[in-house]
């Protein structure tokens, strides 16, 4: 990468304000523009963090898309949405990259609020083809001469929704172009038979080189040479036909063009123009390299700098100080458990490194399964593994398990199968925005019969609760934890059944039930209330579903129960505790703090929590007011402030 100044509007890039500006550029100018865009991406993402590798790999393909199609009249949909940075750049959002993924700044995904060029805000994979199918049908029914283009990349074709959509797209015969951005990877290399089929030409081009060598050698043999070469060429053609994806897609009734070098803008434009002129479903198979053009990304075997935090643009090294992450603690403990129990296996959905399953795969490769972007399959495959006498640990981001609710409910729980789901990035996660917030799990999965949910507060309780989860043999379990660095261990003063008592004041004014990572918030609230003369007992239930019955006895000894949870309040832990108290006849008022139902904007975790009133100051103020009103109603004297 060449060095550039902080000025980002110089050069050819500085002349691009709309997609139409691309159409006047010469091939040479396009080549220079692609280099400038890569420099721009590295410079900006190195400061803010973000999805670098996927966007470096899709530069020329995106430029070709906007030269051939007329956005926003023609609709361009990105699946997955994290490969849309270049699209943002050429649709007038260059200045927004200074605040990429920061509060009030540019989203890391397509955003309807940002631009008329963004139609869907998808950051969950394998959905764009279904959107595109419906949109193309709508255009046809309304008599509108418009194209729909779906850019499918980063392993999204391993998701089942893509194939459900393809089946319908083929039957509809509408103006729909599918660009398969085939970089052979999701985070890590894409897994599965389909991925192997698609990548054969890209990963194994040896037969082309062998053909050239044999042609050169046999060409010098006057009698045998040419006939032998023709035979070999026929064999080679047969091999290519056998491994090419073309028959697979055309058997569905979808025209196939490719494979095309996705980094050759002229080749991509030619392929896209042919596809556009076909006026029916077409797949353009673009072969690209994730991280292309930036050596540190190309050399990063783990994930091609898929989504780094802030980093040194010259070396690619992260600038944040190393710290112990929740994922690392889980990964380490899972391997330790696997050392002791040969029946424990791991499953992940295209995220072995980000979820920690890679550590298990490294030591026990036969006991770790990456199923691709297929959370539904992961859950039911885990059910099968459990039926076969194993204990699967399914590690996914909390937001992605939402996609497999039916499988958890009916394929796992109804059969009372011992499957442990480990949910990384639970709660408000920050810069990735509302689609990635893991705030739904305790509400959504709280209704599943027989499912137990644990929420560790620190490294020690994560290790402990993970072991407790895999010890359960009569139903599914969930262990959820947030993203980022693990908080300092917060030891209990005593344990009441499964409930950890973290703090006990002399007075019994408030029982504060702090869930998981909110334990530290609960302690801070207790300290502020103590300054007002109120006594608080802070407890961590550890296992939030089913609600520990011990909470009833604790609640009976207090004036008010307050719950704190890093999840949506509707149907959450607070409501579950309230129902448990009512069922037990405990006549204690309860107030709950949690995330309001809604799609909250991106920002840092601290910023989002502050905006939602989930800080020690906000919570302590409200609790003080509630206790004061209870005292007034009972005629008791309020403590001195």
Q: Of residues 38, 101, 175, 290, which has the active-site annotation?
A: 290
User: What is the rounded CA–CA span in Å between residue 342 and residue 360?
Assistant: 12
> Cα–Cα–Cα angle for 248, 250, 255, nearest 5°?
130
Looking at residue 35, its pLDDT comes to 94
Please give the average per-residue pLDDT across 495-505, as a whole number: 96
Helix, strand counts (H, E) of the chain: 25, 18
Q: What is the dihedral of CA 182, 183, 189, 192, to 10 degrees?
A: 10
Catalogue the E-assigned strands of 105-241: 148-153, 176-182
Residue 375 is among the residues annotated as catalytic for this protein: yes
Looking at residue 223, its pLDDT comes to 45
String of DSSP letters for 314-359: TT--B-SPP--BHHHHHHHHHHHHHHH-TTEEEEESS-HHHHTHHH
Lowest mean pLDDT among 226-240, 313-327, 366-380, 402-416: 226-240
DSSP-assigned letter for residue 427 = B
Return mean pLDDT, the chain: 87
Q: Which helix (H) or strand (E) holds 574?
A: helix 573-583
Instruction: For the chain, state the CA radius of gyration.
Output: 28
Please indicate whether residue 82 or residue 143 has the higher confidence score (pLDDT): 143
Residue 531 is among the residues annotated as catalytic for this protein: no
pLDDT band for position 232 (cuts 50, 70, 90) = very low
Looking at residue 30, its pLDDT comes to 95
**pLDDT tens digits, 346-375:** 999 988 999 999 999 999 999 999 998 899
pLDDT at 91 over 70: yes
Residue (of 484, 167, 514) closest to 329 by Cα position: 484
Looking at residue 10, its pLDDT comes to 74
Cβ contact 448:408 at 8 Å: yes
Full strand arrangement of the beta sheet holding 420-424? 368-370, 344-348, 391-397, 420-424, 477-480, 452-454, 543-545
pLDDT at 85 over 90: yes
User: What is the rounded CA–CA span in Å between residue 184 and residue 372?
Assistant: 12
**pLDDT tens digits, 596-611:** 998 988 888 889 999 9
Please give the average per-residue pLDDT across 238-260, as a whole number: 67
Beta-carbon neighbour count of residue 14 at 10 Å? Answer: 12
String of DSSP letters for 517-573: GGHHHHHHHHHHHHHTT--EEEEE-SEEESPPTHHHHHHHTSSEEEEEEEEESTTSH
Cβ contact 422:349 at 8 Å: no
pLDDT at 3 over 50: no
Looking at residue 582, its pLDDT comes to 95
Please give the average per-residue pLDDT across 545-556, as a whole number: 96
pLDDT at 175 over 70: yes
Please give the average per-residue pLDDT across 579-603, as a whole number: 93
Please give the average per-residue pLDDT across 632-640, as a whole number: 62
Please give the average per-residue pLDDT across 420-441, as a whole number: 90
Looking at residue 245, its pLDDT comes to 61
Buried b or exposed e, range 167-200, using 16+ CB within 10 angstroms:
eebbeeebbbbbbbbbbbbbbbbbbbebbeebbb
CA dihedral sign, ordered 80, 83, 87, 92: positive
Please give the average per-residue pLDDT across 558-579, as a whole number: 95
pLDDT at 1 over 70: no
pLDDT at 2 over 60: no
pLDDT at 190 over 60: no
CA dihedral sign, ordered 428, 431, 434, 438: negative
Give residue for tokens 């959820």: 480
Please indicate whether residue 272 or residue 437 has the higher confidence score (pLDDT): 272
Looking at residue 184, its pLDDT comes to 67
Beta bridge partners of 480: 423
Residue 341 is among the residues annotated as catalytic for this protein: no
Per the omega criterion (within 30 degrees of 0), is the bond before 133 cis? Answer: no
The SS3 of residue 608 is helix
pLDDT at 204 over 70: no
pLDDT at 512 over 90: yes
Phi-psi label, residue 253: left if phi above 0, alpha if psi -120 to 50, beta otherwise? left
Phi-psi label, residue 503: left if phi above 0, alpha if psi -120 to 50, beta otherwise? beta
- What is the token pair recorded at 563? 């719950």
Quote the distance between the C-alpha of residue 56 and its chain's center. Answer: 19
Looking at residue 342, its pLDDT comes to 98
Per the omega criterion (within 30 degrees of 0), is the bond before 612 cis? Answer: no
Looking at residue 254, its pLDDT comes to 87
Which residues does 270 contact at the CB level (< 8 Å), separation at least 6?
A: none
Q: Of residues 60, 269, 375, 465, which has the active-site annotation?
A: 375
**pLDDT tens digits, 135-160:** 999 999 999 999 999 999 867 888 88
Looking at residue 185, its pLDDT comes to 55
pLDDT at 87 over 70: yes
Beta-carbon neighbour count of residue 387 at 10 Å? Answer: 11
Q: Of residues 403, 463, 559, 569, which has the active-site annotation?
A: 403
CA atoms within 13 A on the CB side of 522: 32
Tell me the backbone φ, ψ of residue 393, rounded to 5 degrees: -115, 110
Looking at residue 641, its pLDDT comes to 42
pLDDT at 490 over 90: yes
Q: What is the dihedral of CA 125, 131, 136, 142, to 10 degrees?
A: -160
Residue (of 463, 460, 382, 456) closest to 421 by Cα position: 382
pLDDT over 90 percentage in the chain: 65
pLDDT band for position 203 (cuts 50, 70, 90) = very low
Lowest mean pLDDT among 48-52, 122-126, 218-222, 415-419: 218-222
CA dihedral sign, ordered 17, 20, 26, 28: positive
Looking at residue 377, its pLDDT comes to 95
Looking at residue 516, its pLDDT comes to 95
Please give the average per-residue pLDDT across 547-576, as a whole number: 95
pLDDT at 234 over 70: no
Cβ contact 629:589 at 8 Å: no
**pLDDT tens digits, 260-314:** 999 999 999 999 999 999 989 999 999 888 889 999 998 888 778 888 888 899 9
Please indicate whether residue 641 or residue 33 has the higher confidence score (pLDDT): 33
Looking at residue 215, its pLDDT comes to 44
Please give the average per-residue pLDDT across 15-20, as a whole number: 92
Looking at residue 124, its pLDDT comes to 79
């Amino acid at each position: 990468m060449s060095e550039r100044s902080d000025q980002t509007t110089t050069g050819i890039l500085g002349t691009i304000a709309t997609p139409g500006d691309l159409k006047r550029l010469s091939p040479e100018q396009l080549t220079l523009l692609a280099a400038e865009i890569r420099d721009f991406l590295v410079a900006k993402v190195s400061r803010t963090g973000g999805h670098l590798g996927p966007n470096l790999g899709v530069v020329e393909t995106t430029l070709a898309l906007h030269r051939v199609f007329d956005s926003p009249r023609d609709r361009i949909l990105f699946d997955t949405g994290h490969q849309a940075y270049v699209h943002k750049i050429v649709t007038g959002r260059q200045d927004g990259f200074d605040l990429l993924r920061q509060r009030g700044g540019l989203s890391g995904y397509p955003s309807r609020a940002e631009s008329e060029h963004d139609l869907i805000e998808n950051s969950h994979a394998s959905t764009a083809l279904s959107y595109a199918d419906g949109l193309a049908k709508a255009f046809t029914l309304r008599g509108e001469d418009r194209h729909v283009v779906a850019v499918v990349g980063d392993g999204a074709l391993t998701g089942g929704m893509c194939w459900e959509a393809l089946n319908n797209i083929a039957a509809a015969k509408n103006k729909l172009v599918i660009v398969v951005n085939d970089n052979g990877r999701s985070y890590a290399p894409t897994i599965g038979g389909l991925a192997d089929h698609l990548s054969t030409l890209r990963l194994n081009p040896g037969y082309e080189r062998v053909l050239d060598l044999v042609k050169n050698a046999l060409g010098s043999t006057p009698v045998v040479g040419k006939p032998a070469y023709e035979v070999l060429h026929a064999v080679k053609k047969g091999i290519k036909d056998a491994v090419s994806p073309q028959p697979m897609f055309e058997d569905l009734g979808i025209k196939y063009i490719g494979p095309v070098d996705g980094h050759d803008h002229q080749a991509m434009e030619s392929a896209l123009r042919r596809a556009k002129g076909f006026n029916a479903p077409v797949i353009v198979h673009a072969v690209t390299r994730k991280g292309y053009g930036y050596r540190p990304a190309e050399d990063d075997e783990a994930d091609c700098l898929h989504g780094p935090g802030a980093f040194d643009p010259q070396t690619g090294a992260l600038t944040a100080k190393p710290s112990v992450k929740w994922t690392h603690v889980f990964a380490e403990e899972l391997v330790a458990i696997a050392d002791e129990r040969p029946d424990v296996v791991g499953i992940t959905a295209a995220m072995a490194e980000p979820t920690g399953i890679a550590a298990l795969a490294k030591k026990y490769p036969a006991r770790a399964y990456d199923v691709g972007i297929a959370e539904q399959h992961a859950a039911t495959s885990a059910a099968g593994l459990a039926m076969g006498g194993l204990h699967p640990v399914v590690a996914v981001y909390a937001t992605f398990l939402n996609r497999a609710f039916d499988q958890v409910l009916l394929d796992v729980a109804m059969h009372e199968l011992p499957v442990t789901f480990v949910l990384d990035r639970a709660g408000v996660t920050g810069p990735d925005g509302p689609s990635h917030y893991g705030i739904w799990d305790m509400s959504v999965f709280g209704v599943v019969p027989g499912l137990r949910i644990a929420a560790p507060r620190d490294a020690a309780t994560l290790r402990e609760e993970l072991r407790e989860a895999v010890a359960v043999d009569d139903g599914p379990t969930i262990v959820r934890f947030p993203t980022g660095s693990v908080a300092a261990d917060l030891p209990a003063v005593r344990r009441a059944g499964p409930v950890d008592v973290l703090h006990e004041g002399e007075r019994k004014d408030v029982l504060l039930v702090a869930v998981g990572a909110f334990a530290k918030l609960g302690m801070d609230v207790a300290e502020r209330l103590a300054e007002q003369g109120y006594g608080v007992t802070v407890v961590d239930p550890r296992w939030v579903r089913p609600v520990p019955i011990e909470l009833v006895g604790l609640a009976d000894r207090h004036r008010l129960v307050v719950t704190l949870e890093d999840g949506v309040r509707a149907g959450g832990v607070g409501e579950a505790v309230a129902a448990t108290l009512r069922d037990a006849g405990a006549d204690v008022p309860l107030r709950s703090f949690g995330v309001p139902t809604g799609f909250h904007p991106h920002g840092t975790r601290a910023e989002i929590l502050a905006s939602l009133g989930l800080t020690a100051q906000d919570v302590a103020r409200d609790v003080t007011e509630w206790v004061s009103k209870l005292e007034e109603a009972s005629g008791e004297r309020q403590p001195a402030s």
